[in-house]
A = this chain, B = another copy of it.
């Protein structure tokens, strides 16, 4: 990593000066550098590759580096990949990039990858790519490793032939396909959340549960149930919800108008569902948080855009991507993979408050 921290910016300057009027058509190769430095191409490869300890004299090594800088030499990645059998490219499999959460995961992962000289290509789920060719058709041939979210696990079936190093994000640690698994401490976040709600006095809580088969949502459902187990008088119900604002709205409507006593809190599986739930609450003439408290998950930008701002569990999305990429890099180095679990944090905002349980004044038609 510290081997080549040669300054790039002055290099660009001299490169511009070094090519006065010549057409950029002819790419400069390691052989050109060799010629300029008066050494063989092999020496250039050794020097620039950093492994010249006792093979090239310091003087010539410096000459090589100078010539490379002067000519603006960039190694041809295709040739290198062909020779080495490695592409320094990894695949990130996410359910959809248009969700802010995974866009941030990508950002973190790409940053760490860049530090290691790796690139990241995306497989943003079948619905993102649509009916086009399966990226694995060509991609699998030129990948060094894969990071995959548990929410896109089904896409991984296409990869089961190629036994690439694999790091799973937020998935069952018992999954043996993965070389390592990086998790978020979802269960703890849920416990904080339910603790917050019960401390406020909430007992009738409906979990607006994402109807996506995924490890992370299974954990959330289990943690919600378990953490309310010991609370006297707690009445937990479960309302499935698809992902999206509209789906959250419909699910919340069903939850609030269904049989039995009305819940005083809606615990939503993500902020987007929660935003939809807020709309449903208000359309029924109820107030947030006085009549119904609503909580989200993820702490997206959305969480502070809606009103009132959402109490939610902040997931460290970028750090998540960073940790996943770091784990993959250690696996690629042949070292044993660490599999950290990242902490999450409850963020308390205006969408939660003690319930106004007075049984008499349920509906206030006018409202604002």
Contact = CB atoms under 8 A, between A and B. Distances in A.
A361 B282 CA distance: 26
A3 B87 contact: no
A97 B87 contact: no
Nearest to A137: B8
Interface string A269-298: 000100110110010000100000000000
B77 A4 contact: no
A42 interface: no
A306 interface: yes
Contacts of A98: 100, 103-104, 107
A75 B305 contact: no
B307 A307 contact: yes
A232 interface: no
A114 B133 contact: yes
Contacts of A157: 8-9, 12
Contacts of A3: 127, 212
Contacts of A126: 4, 6, 8
A132 B4 CA distance: 13
Given A19-B161, A82-B78, A114-B133, A125 B12 contact: no
Nearest to A143: B77
Interface string A96-125: 011010011011001100110101111011
Given A16-B161, A163-B24, A134 B11 contact: yes
Interface stretch (A51-59, A186-194, A241-249): A241-249
Contact of A1 (B4, B78, B110, B127): B127
Contact of A114 (B1, B11, B132, B141): B132
A331 interface: no
Given A74-B137, A305-B302, A307-B307, A110 B129 contact: yes
Nearest to A212: B3
Interface string A126-156: 1111111111011111100000000000110
A263 interface: no
Interface string A18-40: 01000010010000000000000
B104 A122 contact: no
A158 interface: yes
Contacts of A128: 107, 110-111
A106 to B, nearest CB: 6
A72 interface: yes
Given A78-B78, A128-B110, A282 B302 contact: no
A116 to B, nearest CB: 9
A304 B272 CA distance: 11
A257 interface: no
8 contacts: A3-B212, A8-B157, A12-B161, A19-B161, A110-B122, A111-B128, A122-B122, A307-B307
The 3 closest A-B pairs by CB, nearest first: A78-B81, A4-B126, A74-B141
